[in-house]
Amino acid sequence: MITVVKADFKALRHVLVVENEPLMRDLLAKAVEGAGFVVTTAANAADAMRSVKVMDPDAMVIDIELGPGPNGFDLAEAVTVLSPEVGVVFLTNLPDPRFGGKDAATVKKNQAYLRKTAINTGAELVEAIEAVLRDRVTKQYRHDLASNRPFSALSQRQINTLQLVAEGKTNAQIAALRGTTVRAVEGMLTRIFEVLEIDPKGSNPRVEATARYHQLRSQVETVA
């Protein structure tokens, strides 16, 4: 008599979880493993690359901010060059790639981007993994495109300029760093203030814009 054993689809899939914070890494691993996947973890990009070469994962859950060394974007790019079929789920505190010094095109259409503060259960993460494995990524799994994300109306150039303002750079210094004119920087700042609904003729719009930026960064770092 031949016994047919029904294979568990998820158990045949291997997921690499890359997260530098130990407690979060453990929680993520347990959530994914609890859904039936085989799970390996890594604390940084270097460890992750070694794991990739050993176990050839089907999908990866990657935090973007991984401490010193390559970040999650760098890791994903390196892995997908070697294995384009690997599914990628970015799980991060950053509202979108601009805050990691990248543009929107950094996240490919078949990759997921989840904000840690925007998901409530491990089931949502598992659903995103399923989506990238089956190439069925929808807007539901692209929090970097959400209209209500912080500073969504600002462009990459405006975000970079705002960051320089927050670092205390003068208009002349920003112009030198960006290879443009002081007048161009003034125009850029005026547009930034308008988008952030800050009165450009107020007492000190630069201070208010800086406070807004640091508030956002503080929220990101606190959750991390």
- Per-residue pLDDT reduced to its tens digit, 27-43: 999 999 999 999 999 99
Q: Determine the pLDDT at residue 101.
A: 78
Q: What number is the average pLDDT over the span 207-219?
A: 80
Residue 30 structural domain = 10-145
Same domain, 33 and 111: yes
pLDDT band with cut points at 50, 70 and 90 for residue 217: low
Same domain, 184 and 141: no
Asked if residue 112 has pLDDT above 90, the reply is yes
pLDDT tens-digit profile of 39-77? 999 999 999 999 999 989 999 999 999 988 899 999 999
Asked if residue 212 has pLDDT above 90, the reply is no
Asked if residue 105 has pLDDT above 90, the reply is no
Same domain, 80 and 128: yes
Least confident of 10-19, 20-29, 54-63, 81-90: 10-19
Residue 185 falls inside a structural domain: yes
**Strands ordered across the beta sheet of 14-18:** 38-42, 14-18, 59-62, 87-92, 112-115
Least confident of 80-84, 97-101, 218-222: 218-222
The amino acid present at 56, given as its one-letter code, is D
Residue 25 falls inside a structural domain: yes
Residue 160 falls inside a structural domain: yes
pLDDT tens-digit profile of 158-192? 888 998 999 999 999 999 999 999 999 999 999 99
Same domain, 62 and 32: yes
Domain holding 18: CATH number? Answer: 3.40.50.2300
Which has the closest alpha carbon to 79: 128, 15, 13, 35?
15
Same domain, 44 and 129: yes
SS3 of 108-132: the string is: CCCCEEEEHHHCCCHHHHHHHHHHH
Could you report how far apart the first and last alpha carbons of the chain are, in Å?
56
Write down which residue in 119, 145, 171 finishes a domain: 145
Please give the tally of structural domains in the chain: 2
Cα(129)–Cα(62) distance, rounded to whole angstroms? 11
Write down which residue in 80, 113, 145 finishes a domain: 145
Q: Whole-number mean pLDDT of the chain?
A: 87
Same domain, 121 and 21: yes
Residue 115 falls inside a structural domain: yes
Domain holding 197: CATH number? Answer: 1.10.10.10
Which has the closest alpha carbon to 42: 69, 10, 11, 4?
69
Same domain, 140 and 175: no
pLDDT tens-digit profile of 115-133? 998 888 899 999 999 999 9
Same domain, 140 and 181: no
Same domain, 64 and 26: yes
Asked if residue 6 has pLDDT above 60, the reply is no
